[in-house]
Structure 1
């Protein structure tokens, strides 16, 4: 029987240090990495002459979730030669802090990529597919709240569509979960979503991974005062979206206890998905993964030190890659404010090097702290391939090998068809293998 993944923190007083002075706190503040940490990097600088949206919809959920009525915006790009919507493709933004940047989202997904001079979205527009980019006023709020915005977008697209072509609905990263929930909710309420195809792009169907030691560091650095108006490092991982999204989460730097069920928000979200039948039934369900499907991950030795940094008389931090299960395995250490905190995990899989869409998580934080880190250690797993292709396993217990060769496991997936990248590319990166497959699937008649 699988044991529950957990974390334990040991707190001791730092020998000979006592409490930290006001001067030390000020010094610590000056060396804080900018917050919030762990945001994804969708939205590059825009290019001159970038295509402008044909119209913009202001959207509002028709129902509250936990007393919150979410709002959002959709940027509509009609296909070449279309005066009205004919074949709408609603593509939702994903996990990050604050409001969506829809022009940046368009620029990101339409930028030329290796092997092609034509952007992904331009290929769809040339093929007669109308692109509707869906953004949210608060990307970090409850998935269910933003699903209400997605429902409003679907209903608006149906009302403005010319003809009866079925919709394509999906999203990148958490946007795939938002639209998955929206479509399933509509089916449960017998609302006709008229959607023939659902598409997720590196969406964490069974959870995303941010190393527990780095989550602890984000909370740890909030011990120092923050300048007015500056967002704290842990604001994103403290958010409802992160609590629902992450397969392992801690509420603060001193927390000891279970990590897969630490947040009741994730427990409730998983229960609601189960009640809705997990996925919508009517659409053909497609997905792409930025991770490999052949079981090849990154060479990040489980339990090894990733980086360490000491600022004399101010702080010391040490971060290890996540050990692979085991009992009471060390993940790192933090010293400041007269305290020493050492973290240990039990039964947590070593996900940092597993196949999946990657982020520069260790690298970003090491760079912000001016800590030395090997180039090969900067990038680590964010959305495991076993999650993005929606394999059938318990997302709270992780009773699966994260290195499973998913390219040969289609019968275990909740998706009808999916495509993995040929390498572990950056989470949500636009690559030729993924674009070629998506365009072929969406233009198939």
Structure 2
């Protein structure tokens, strides 16, 4: 499997591996307000001519050129060399990284906006641009382009691309969200889950032990501002891909199973895969010297096994707890993170509307329900933002000539 482009937990993963050193970019643009562009031109060119500008997404650390490059080009056993394919098709790559990947989507959209106009100013010729992003980066690009159009500014973009982007929200298990403040208190992990970007991206959010998870006000405000911009840019063609399948198959994880168990001072702590229905048990939280707490939800469907791009959240949390002295086991290391219907903006996955069903056969839904003009699902659900031959080749085939 190729490396995931977006390592959401950053160095919170105790096993976080060092990527090889990426080739030196042909150009590096230091962007105001906390961003960097790494430019890889078609070999032999002295200037960019047909730029593809791709935004990084959410994580705890500043963007890594090495992580982005090898997530796209492979790091030893590549599924698909996306950068090479771009160059062979005559397109230059501009990777956009951020100093703070937990900032508001709107704040980092201003960084991407500067990168777009820098590319236009440095471009040789007048070929149209392609602009998009991975995971939350697709939301950053969506907002930036729509905002430019609202201001009647020419972004010269012919194609927008989103790669497993949570257009209708992302899923982080409630048990994990509750465990963090209960066991870790004021920690870096709590800061990550409570960051502006996490509040805007997650469909259900909580940063306290008590209380029912719900849509955070920051998400409501972001969606409201996006709506004021028309929801989507209207000038470019809009395409997207999902790392999840579209047939409703899912990843095979059953609801109500023990997903993580801890020992030592945390003995009795267990997190469960999400069941549906009222009073669904999602976590037993325990630690020496405190009363145990049972966590239930009332309105959340069976999302851990749903079709979608997966993230190894339970595995990362188990590794972190073990590193802190509480041996822990992830019985289900990876679960759904971006449901397929969210990644291509065709269906909600909550229970707010009667027809919402994360296990629906999305191929039977009218394509007009999506804000995208065209999209592609993976054959089967796999790692979030993983660059596969089917998805990568399809994107390259859509690029403007």
If the length of structure 2 is used for normalisation, what is the TM-score?
Answer: 0.90
On the 8 A contact 1:54/1:78 being kept in 2, the answer is: yes
| Change in CA separation of 1:330 and 1:249 when aligned onto 2, cut-off 3 Å | same
Query: 286, 297, 301: which is aligned to 1:335?
Result: 286
Q: What's the counterpart of residue 357 of structure 1?
A: 309
Q: What's the counterpart of residue 284 of structure 1?
A: 237
Q: Are 2:273 and 1:310 aligned?
A: no
Q: Are 2:290 and 1:347 aligned?
A: no
On the 8 A contact 1:358/1:380 being kept in 2, the answer is: yes
Q: Which runs of 4+ in 1 moved over 4 A?
A: 34-41, 112-116, 392-396
Superposed CA deviations along residues 113-167 of structure 1, whole A, max 9, x for unmatched, are: 8786x61111101221010000111000100000001111111111111111110
Q: What's the counterpart of residue 137 of structure 1?
A: 99
Q: What's the counterpart of residue 109 of structure 1?
A: 72
Q: What's the counterpart of residue 16 of structure 1?
A: none
Structure whose alpha-carbon radius of gyration is higher: 1
On the 8 A contact 1:136/1:146 being kept in 2, the answer is: yes
RCO higher in 1 or 2 (8 Å CA, sep ≥ 6)?
Answer: 1
SS at match of 1:170: strand
Superposed CA deviations along residues 312-348 of structure 1, whole A, max 9, x for unmatched, are: 5x55311111112x11211111122422211110011
| Change in CA separation of 1:113 and 1:433 when aligned onto 2, cut-off 3 Å | farther
Superposed CA deviations along residues 24-61 of structure 1, whole A, max 9, x for unmatched, are: xxxxxxxxxx98758998x96116xx43201111112x
1:260 deviates by 2.8
| Change in CA separation of 1:273 and 1:378 when aligned onto 2, cut-off 3 Å | same
Query: 72, 77, 82: which is aligned to 2:40?
Result: 77
| Change in CA separation of 1:159 and 1:393 when aligned onto 2, cut-off 3 Å | same
| Change in CA separation of 1:395 and 1:180 when aligned onto 2, cut-off 3 Å | farther
- Unaligned 5+ segments in structure 1 are 1-33, 61-69
Q: Are 2:171 and 1:209 aligned?
A: yes
Q: Give, in whole Å, the separation in 2 of the partners of 1:40 and 1:280.
A: 39
On the 8 A contact 2:25/2:40 being kept in 1, the answer is: yes
SS at match of 1:339: coil
On the 8 A contact 1:93/1:133 being kept in 2, the answer is: yes
The correspondence of residues 97-176 of structure 1 with structure 2, limited to 5 A, is 97-111=60-74, 119-176=81-138
Query: 55, 66, 80: which is aligned to 2:27?
Result: 55
- Unaligned 5+ segments in structure 2 are 1-8
Q: What's the counterpart of residue 273 of structure 1?
A: 226
Q: Are 2:304 and 1:380 aligned?
A: no
If the length of structure 1 is used for normalisation, what is the TM-score?
Answer: 0.81
SS at match of 2:232: coil
Q: What's the counterpart of residue 57 of structure 2?
A: 94
On the 8 A contact 1:260/1:396 being kept in 2, the answer is: no
Q: CA RMSD in A?
A: 2.4
1:178 deviates by 0.3
Q: What's the counterpart of residue 424 of structure 1?
A: 381
